[in-house]
Amino acid sequence: MDCIFCQIAAGALPADRVYEDDDTLAFPDLRPRAPQHLLVIPKRHVESLASTQDDDWAAVAACLRTVQRVARDRGLEEGGYRVVANIGSDGGQTVNHLHWHVLGGRLMTWPPG
Ligand code: DGP
């Protein structure tokens, strides 16, 4: 298994598992870009939204439910937060396992870099 996020999901690499259920996992980003910066991943390996297949959509929906849950648990709903999925090289994706960044705790600017 050479995917970092698959190894984290399997418990073979350490991460602070702030939330998990059968299908999804949330943990802090190693290189936080905001006071609060979590990653939400499906436990099953899906490369990116670009390669999502019909039988992956339930996991995608479960991830978005987890995004909402962790943002709520962390008190981000009132002030707002940003959810980012980087797709492919132009999108800035560096780990080829589908994930959402949940960023909060500061004012986000637009457009992103
Ligand atoms: P992206 O660039 O969108 O593919 O985001 C990948 C993120 O994953 C990046 O912000 C850094 C983070 N990351 C990479 N390796 C690890 C790791 O081993 N543990 C954790 N917690 N985060 C990682």
> DSSP H helical segments within the chain, as ranges?
4-10, 57-73, 88-91
110 domain-assigned: no
Q: What are phi and psi of 29, to 5 degrees?
A: -70, 140
Give the pLDDT score at 94.
98
CA of 101 to the centre of ligand 1 (A): 9
The domain that contains 80 carries what CATH number?
3.30.428.10
Question: Atom 23 in ligand 1: which residue has the minimum CA distance?
Answer: 30
3-state secondary structure 50-65: HHCCHHHHHHHHHHHH
113 domain-assigned: no
**Domain tally, the chain:** 1
In terms of residue numbers, what domain contains 94? 4-104
- In the three-class reduction of DSSP (H, G, I as helix; E, B as strand; rest coil), residue 6 is classed as helix
78 domain-assigned: yes
CA of 53 to the centre of ligand 1 (A): 23
Give, for 19, the enclosing helix (H) or strand (E): strand 19-20
112 domain-assigned: no
109 domain-assigned: no
Active site residue 99: yes
Tens digit of pLDDT for each residue in 41-69?
999 999 999 999 999 999 999 999 999 99
pTM for this one? 0.98
- In the three-class reduction of DSSP (H, G, I as helix; E, B as strand; rest coil), residue 24 is classed as strand
